[in-house]
Structure 1
């Protein structure tokens, strides 16, 4: 008996799983060839490790103003590597704990944005008639409204809290994703395998779930990293404007406090430069990863690169 005859037959689900694993392996191999993407991934891993290990690296009591006993706005020294703030707290402690809030808001707001944008993009692109037109006009309406004034208005109405900031950023940053998904769906729904599924009696929701959505998932995944960068910038902006959670320390709230005490005019660079650099590095890391993933998942970009 041959090896093919003795080997167990794989079910369709097992075959599909094996193909997906092989596809992800090929994608990872292509991603590793992008130097900028790997640099962005390395930077992101460092910040994620710092955020996860913040309770081990710095005691949370260092965030409490009532327990601060350091000098006021002291420059970096052996005791305080990044100096202190206006309350005598270590800037390094604030920076490490602030990374947790900034990354959390960016990831959770992006999750809300991607869910809303994907659903609206799928429906507006796959369904024709008045249903598709309504969702498309809704997307255009959100695109016309300036993003920052809308976010400020919603944050003011909902109040200053971590959950509200996540909701505000999530419900105002989905239109770009919806348009991207809609354009992909318009192309995919005209392909032969979708027409064959329709010809044998598959319903629209079945076609969307089994044929359309799996083919747009790589583009959704690549766009997610770019959306996280925008969400982190949005959280920093809102917190800097005084609309963040006053009970939480984030990089944006650090910049707000540094501005309020005049860190720029008094020369307290150690209070304003570190959080600003961290925001730039994390946003740049997500952007580099997103650009690399876009080339990995888009064959046309790979051809022209």
Structure 2
């Protein structure tokens, strides 16, 4: 019975957050777009006939323009671009989600530890963070993707370990603000150790910031993945939106005027990045206590 009031409070808090989120039309639009794209990606095996990865025995001719049979046209091998787009969504979204989660996890851990302990250890962590911050993220990701094996996990690690500094600095500032509050002093006076303070008091207060940063980081990760794939540093055995752009470039779609080869993956990348950004901005406004959510 003791858990029932706690569950009721959590449900009520979630309901308040959802009501506040619904007040942001841009955030609702972004969420709707993401739900539709995620559903289409999950249903790709049911919606797409055959194996679109095969370049032999394809159903269409090379570079056919959009038609009733192929709504988005075909690629240089005669594969339908609509099927490639749906399968590519699975890889692009997966890489974006996992890379952003890795990046935010590293940034949150560094920020909380640096903000909690302070001293020379925090100074050292922040100098390392500053070094990563001033280095171009894309350049570091290209270097890592070049020296490591060419697969999806390499891209995820390359993006995740190069894009965490911004999160680390934000979380450190929030941690310092939280630890200046009186109840932290009371917890320390009652014998609360470092793990207790960071896990039970600091982490719950920085989670809203971490959630917003994760949502915003996904769009950046998807764009970085597309850039790496476009440069030929992605996994050649999988289909992604960036890989589709790279194949279109190799096929000379720009110079030959085959716009339908370039437009679908490019628009999909832009739309998903915009949708995640809109969701992230809405979540920031909802979770920011200065906005008075739930009043």
How does the TM-score come out when normalised to structure 1?
Answer: 0.93
Structure of larger gyration radius = 1
1:246 is aligned to 2:232: no
Counterpart in the other structure of 1:7? none
CA shift for structure 1 position 21: 2.8
1:272 is aligned to 2:262: yes
Q: 1:60 to 1:302 in 2, by over 3 A?
A: farther
Aligned pairs for 1:258-269 (under 5 A) are 258-269=248-259
CA distance in 1, matches of 2:125, 2:50: 46
Corresponding residue to 1:120 among 93, 100, 110 = 110
Q: Is the 8 A contact 1:240 1:255 kept in 2?
A: yes
CA shift for structure 1 position 16: 4.2
CA shift for structure 1 position 59: 2.6
CA shift for structure 1 position 77: 1.2
Q: 1:172 to 1:60 in 2, by over 3 A?
A: farther
1:296 is aligned to 2:286: yes
Counterpart in the other structure of 1:166? 156
CA distance in 1, matches of 2:179, 2:282: 26
Q: Is the 8 A contact 1:109 1:169 kept in 2?
A: yes
SS at match of 1:264: helix
CA distance in 1, matches of 2:50, 2:202: 47
Q: 1:208 to 1:245 in 2, by over 3 A?
A: same
CA shift for structure 1 position 265: 1.6
CA distance in 2, matches of 1:197, 1:101: 45
1:133 is aligned to 2:88: no
1:94 is aligned to 2:64: no
Q: Is the 8 A contact 1:295 1:302 kept in 2?
A: no
Counterpart in the other structure of 2:66? 76
Structure 1 gap segments, 5+ residues each: 1-9
Aligned pairs for 1:129-278 (under 5 A) are 129-278=119-268
Stretch moving more, 16-25 or 276-285: 16-25
CA shift for structure 1 position 62: 2.5
CA shift for structure 1 position 18: 3.5
Counterpart in the other structure of 1:6? none
CA distance in 2, matches of 1:60, 1:119: 44
CA distance in 2, matches of 1:231, 1:144: 18
SS at match of 1:67: coil
How does the TM-score come out when normalised to structure 2?
Answer: 0.96
Deviations 1:232-280 (A, max 9, x none): 0000000000000000010000001111111122111111001000001
CA shift for structure 1 position 209: 0.5
Deviations 1:199-246 (A, max 9, x none): 111101101111110111111111111000000000000000000000
Deviations 1:67-104 (A, max 9, x none): 31411111011211111111111111100100000000
Counterpart in the other structure of 1:3? none
CA shift for structure 1 position 22: 2.1
Structure 2 gap segments, 5+ residues each: none
